[in-house]
Chain A
Amino acid sequence: MINATLAPPDTQDVADPERDARSASPLSRRAMLATTTAALATAACAPAGGGKPVPSTTAPPAPTTPPTVPPTTAAPTTTIPAGPVTPTPPGGEGVTTRIAIDKLTFGPAPGLAAAIEARGVWSWIDDQLNPVARNVPDAEWRLAGYATLTNTHRQNFDVQDSDDGWYRLIEELDHATVQRAVYSHRQLYELMCDFWSNHFNTWRQKTWMLFLKNRSNETVIRANALGKFSTMLLASARDSAMLDYLDNLPSDASSPGGVNENYARELMELHSLGIVNGVQTHTEADVRGVAKVISGWSINWDDNATRYDFRFLPWQHSLDAVTVLGGAFSRPARTYGQGYDDGVRLIDVLAHHPATARHIAWKLCKRFVSDTPSEALIASTAAVFTANDTAIAPTLRHIFSSPEFAAGHKRKVRRPFEVLVGALRATGAAIPLGWNTQTTDKVRDMLDNLGQPLYERHSPDGYPDVNAFWLSSEGFLQRWAMLGRLARNKLTDPTQPNPIVVNLPSLLPSPQPPTVAALIRWLAENLGNYTMSDADVADLCSACAFTATAAGTTVSGDANKLALAVGLVLSHPSFQQR
């Protein structure tokens, strides 16, 4: 039986001031503002033009990376347009609507199951893989006025340089990410944005140049999330945020200490070739060689419109002859001004290397199947990746149509971001549009408490994608508390402007389920996308002193009881797994 002391006596719903003060400290508005002065002081010291003459070869044209998924600004719609009908591919028969929702979206949402049923699971999956061609509605209309998402780096520097600028940069990006994940019908695309954002993780607060993150999130991640990996790898290598974060920006072959190895190492280890189950392709000598080839990949410090954009700085570039990866890439010694094209060729070699195909296949399988995907699935997925010139959508489709995909249902733990977004979707929560509200602050603090604050992973590997990392006592106490509060409209302060609003009675069917037990089952089925066993329904009723056979309205008609029931339905083990 339960000890009455299970809950801390004075923290039933009262914020713990000590904990709040701590959790807020790295991210709070006050803290951010406090650092602004220092950051701008540093900014003033940033090199201007590098102090050396600029040869004519300095600024090669940027490869154009047209957004694969251009935003729409049309008014919201909940109707998913009809499109071509896809027959079920061999091996994909096991993918049910329930599995599609759990594994290919951030979670169930009102009306989603019915929409998938009406469209057909595989037609819906192909819509998700081709959201632009199929006109799947996005949520970009919610982000009107979020200028930092589309600004140039130069413009975002000016934002950072203004009052509350740091705050705005962080809040717009974070709140946009949450709203896109909750409301966009392009759910698989948003999942992949989350995946690649972690794969190419940059920590925006490592240096003073926090402002680089907002644009890079659009041009590196969102522009390529369902596009070609080779394009994304090059975009990331030319990404000012990445070059700053992993110290390639100052890497200078002509300095006494020589080049900086940081980015070169992670480019191979984390972004491309990988280390899969301890098997490593590249050597320490390769790290040095690659660091030389990409030395000089930096940013433009000249005071013009493209300031802070990518720029090749020949005076920082190594001119040494380089051979790496057992001869897969080599170049002769170069003369001053040459060398940028070598780096582009190197990135292409890395993107198409067999080890990269295996690494990306392994990570995608871990994401969508289980922590221990079969060797056969990894190998076949890598082959599809290579055969499609590193295109991501066909690679994903191959995974989804393998029997292992459906068999992997409920074998992954929902990470905190997935739980929060999933719960907001499940409860049909209304999130205020503006970036500058209590909601943005509270959601960010919530994710911090849950252990996965957005865009704040300090190390370049991104948040772990294995169950063991997220199975922690503190993490689960925090997620249960979050789910309990959300159902009670206490995730934000309902007495203050711009709270998150959940209207539970509006979610219920008409007529209502006849008994309390039927109501609980209905909530699990429709909000949680799982079937609750009779024994578990009985457990809930017993714990909450509900009479299972009484009329459903005895619970649904009492706001406290309904909130308790919904909070618990979402706290059930089934909802923690996908």
Chain B
Amino acid sequence: MSATMQTSHPIRPRLTATQVSRRGFLAGSGAVVAASTLGTKLAFASPETPTDGDVIVLVFLRGGMDGLSMVAPYRMPTYRTIRPTIRVKEPTEVANPANAGLPLDAGGSVDPFALSGTFGFNPGMAALHSTAWADGNLAVVHCVGMPATESATRSHFDSMRNWEVGSAAGNQTTGFLNRFLLDVDANRIAGIARGSALTRSLAGPVPAYSMGSISGFGLTGFSNNTKAADAITRWYDSGTGNAVMQLGADTMTAVGTVRSVNWADPRFAVQNGATYPNTDFGWQLREVAQLIRANIGLRAVCVDLGGWDTHSDMGAPENPNGYFRSRCVELSEGLAAFYRDLGSQMNEVTVATISEFGRTIDENGTGGTDHGRGSTMLLMGGGIKGGVHGPFVPSITNGPEDDLTVLTDYRTVMAEVLTTRGGATDTSMLFPTWMPTAPLGVCS
């Protein structure tokens, strides 16, 4: 078959000779070689030997999540002044304390930290506050983003692109999680994006897969699906340089792997009494836990949760039906169920939430906030050191750009997670334009 379509596989990151030799599966040329060895490791039935790094679950909060409403500096006078209605209240200010901020004090197994007592979770975060936070397995980093020296964009689309490829450089086109898979020599079904499209963070030369559901991941629709699969597999050749054919070939290989798992095995059922919320996000996380347990080689997963572009009507956090609070409920109940379901297996899983930017400090005239800069990350896992990490501004002031300053490069956090927990070794490949700085110590 002639390849008429120019490949759209992003250009493979430049590798040194030693890097190439370290990664045996790259011994060849062309962006498609990585895929061909996928097929050589398909024969497996029993759980593999423990991996040498965590599964990284990246939850992208699309729209620009207002960190000041999720993890609020609720006792800071300047915060109280500048956000008259949408701020998170203290217990003395509301009739029902459950509707006040949930204090992020040191205590339990959470180490003391510099900002103890300064912050409170939005009351919608109760499910996480009573579980992962109480266990000391939930970390918060405020004021994260890309340094203004590299990009200060407040465009959703440019900013998401920058976060996901890990750089503002135009010639960087592969997702940082795809480079992570490259670094850790991932194989088989290493990267899965939940949904109908492949998340940009995972896009690149190492095959990664989008998956709507486990049960639906197969070829259906024909009068004889086995014959149809045979024809499609023959047509969609690997290694032609045609991106459509490569995608088809990778897909059919992955289908073979996923369908060879007995998903009815009780080992893959929800465990530890966890109850996932009846939301799409909860359902996605339930299947991610199953995929992790199935030992199909998973190293990175992307899950999206949208609805954070809150230009108007964010609602008061003390109102249980407030919009932003309800977003927090969906996030925290999903993550808390995932945390409980995996139980001790959370020692091999790290969840990170990111969002393309934070929002303006000021409330706007319509009860919302506009695009800002400094964002907020959550990190959860058995290998995460609970607490609020990294610097915060000394006062919430409404500067000329009306935003929360970026004080921590988000890549500093992700680099620590991907190396200390994920087992990656080459941060210059993960984040080529990042200026390496000392880790914050979010990983234990």
Q: Is the CB of B212 within 8 A of A478?
A: yes
| A247 at the B interface (CB under 8 A) | yes
Q: Cβ of A269: which chain B residues have Cβ within 8 Å of it? A: 155, 157
Q: Cβ of A262: which chain B residues have Cβ within 8 Å of it? A: 311, 370
Residue of B nearest to A453 (CB): B196
| B270 at the A interface (CB under 8 A) | no
Q: Cβ of A544: which chain B residues have Cβ within 8 Å of it? A: 224, 227, 230-231
| A560 at the B interface (CB under 8 A) | yes
| B238 at the A interface (CB under 8 A) | no
Q: Mark A251-265, 1 if CB is under 8 A from B, else 0.
A: 111111111111001
| B248 at the A interface (CB under 8 A) | yes
Q: Is the CB of B250 within 8 A of A473?
A: yes
How many chain A residues sit at the interface, stated as a range, is 35 or more
Which of B210, B219, B306, B368 interacts with A7 by CB under 8 Å? Answer: B219
Among A436-483, those with CB < 8 Å from B are: 449-451, 458-459, 461, 466-478, 480-483
Q: Is the CB of B368 within 8 A of A472?
A: no
Which of B209, B255, B365, B401 interacts with A6 by CB under 8 Å? Answer: B255
Chain B nearest Cβ from A441, distance in angstroms:
18
Q: Is the CB of B157 within 8 A of A573?
A: no
The majority secondary structure among interface residues of chain B is loop
Q: Is the CB of A6 within 8 A of B226?
A: yes
Q: Mark A544-578, 1 if CB is under 8 A from B, else 0.
A: 11000000000000001001100110011100110
| B441 at the A interface (CB under 8 A) | no
Q: Is the CB of B256 within 8 A of A3?
A: yes
Q: Which of A179-187, A209-217, A346-354, A533-541 is found at the contact surface with chain B?
A: A533-541
Q: Is the CB of A473 within 8 A of B210?
A: yes
Contact of A473 with B209 at beta-carbon distance under 8 Å, contacts A247-B311, A259-B365, A573-B242 already known: yes
Q: Is the CB of A450 within 8 A of B196?
A: yes
Q: Cβ of B229: which chain A residues have Cβ within 8 Å of it? A: 2, 6-7
Q: Is the CB of B4 within 8 A of A409?
A: yes
Q: Mark A347-380, 1 if CB is under 8 A from B, else 0.
A: 0000000000000000000000011100000000
Contact of A472 with B226 at beta-carbon distance under 8 Å, contacts A275-B158, A467-B8, A533-B1 already known: no
Contact of A8 with B311 at beta-carbon distance under 8 Å, contacts A256-B365, A474-B195, A543-B230 already known: no
Q: Cβ of A35: which chain B residues have Cβ within 8 Å of it? A: none
Q: Is the CB of A472 within 8 A of B232?
A: no
Q: Is the CB of B196 within 8 A of A474?
A: yes
Q: Cβ of A25: which chain B residues have Cβ within 8 Å of it? A: 280
Expressed in whole angstroms, the Cα–Cα distance for A6 and B260 within the complex equals: 8
Q: Is the CB of A257 within 8 A of B363?
A: yes
| A284 at the B interface (CB under 8 A) | yes
Residue of A nearest to B215 (CB): A16
| B274 at the A interface (CB under 8 A) | no
| A337 at the B interface (CB under 8 A) | no
| A13 at the B interface (CB under 8 A) | yes
Q: Is the CB of B8 within 8 A of A260?
A: no
Q: Mark B208-252, 1 if CB is under 8 A from A, else 0.
A: 011111011111111111111111111110000011110110111
Contact of A4 with B226 at beta-carbon distance under 8 Å, contacts A409-B4, A472-B197 already known: yes
Q: Cβ of A482: which chain B residues have Cβ within 8 Å of it? A: 221
Contact of A573 with B227 at beta-carbon distance under 8 Å, contacts A409-B4, A478-B212 already known: no
Among the interface residues A472, A545, A563, which one has the most CB atoms of the partner chain B within 10 A? A472
| B95 at the A interface (CB under 8 A) | no
Expressed in whole angstroms, the Cα–Cα distance for A181 and B225 within the complex equals: 30
Which of A371, A471, A535 interacts with B1 by CB under 8 Å? Answer: A535
Q: Is the CB of B1 within 8 A of A260?
A: no
Q: Cβ of A251: which chain B residues have Cβ within 8 Å of it? A: 365-366
Q: Is the CB of B247 within 8 A of A471?
A: yes
Q: Cβ of B29: which chain A residues have Cβ within 8 Å of it? A: none
Q: Is the CB of A533 within 8 A of B259?
A: no
Among A208-252, those with CB < 8 Å from B are: 246-247, 250-252
Which of B157, B251, B306, B362 interacts with A257 by CB under 8 Å? Answer: B362
| B47 at the A interface (CB under 8 A) | no
Q: Is the CB of A468 within 8 A of B10?
A: yes
Expressed in whole angstroms, the Cα–Cα distance for A413 and B5 within the complex equals: 9
Q: Is the CB of A258 within 8 A of B364?
A: yes
Q: Is the CB of B4 within 8 A of A8?
A: no
Q: Cβ of B311: which chain A residues have Cβ within 8 Å of it? A: 246-247, 260-262
Q: Cβ of B283: which chain A residues have Cβ within 8 Å of it? A: 22
Which of B8, B157, B215, B217 interacts with A371 by CB under 8 Å? Answer: B8
| B168 at the A interface (CB under 8 A) | yes
Which of A19, A411, A467, A539 interacts with B216 by CB under 8 Å? Answer: A19
Contact of A474 with B223 at beta-carbon distance under 8 Å, contacts A265-B154, A275-B155 already known: no
Which of A252, A275, A476, A539 interacts with B365 by CB under 8 Å? Answer: A252
Q: Cβ of A459: which chain B residues have Cβ within 8 Å of it? A: 62-63, 156-157, 309
Which of A13, A261, A413, A468 interacts with B221 by CB under 8 Å? Answer: A13
Contact of A410 with B218 at beta-carbon distance under 8 Å, contacts A257-B366, A284-B401, A451-B197 already known: no
Chain A nearest Cβ from B255, distance in angstroms:
6
Which of B232, B243, B280, B368 interacts with A480 by CB under 8 Å? Answer: B232
20 residue pairs of the A-B complex, CB under 8 angstroms, read A5-B260, A6-B218, A7-B229, A25-B280, A284-B154, A450-B196, A451-B197, A458-B306, A469-B197, A471-B8, A471-B244, A472-B209, A473-B247, A474-B210, A476-B248, A533-B2, A544-B230, A564-B227, A571-B228, A572-B235
A-B CB proximity, top 8 nearest: A255-B365, A451-B196, A484-B221, A481-B221, A543-B230, A543-B231, A484-B222, A472-B210
Q: Which residues of B contact A (CB under 8 A)?
A: 1-2, 4-6, 8, 10, 62-63, 153-158, 168, 170, 193, 195-198, 200, 203, 209-213, 215-236, 242-245, 247-248, 250-252, 254-256, 259-260, 280, 283, 306, 309, 311-312, 362-366, 368, 370-371, 401
User: 12 more A-B contacts (CB under 8 A) besides A411-B6, A451-B197?
Assistant: A19-B215, A247-B366, A251-B366, A253-B365, A257-B362, A257-B364, A260-B312, A277-B170, A468-B203, A478-B196, A480-B221, A573-B236
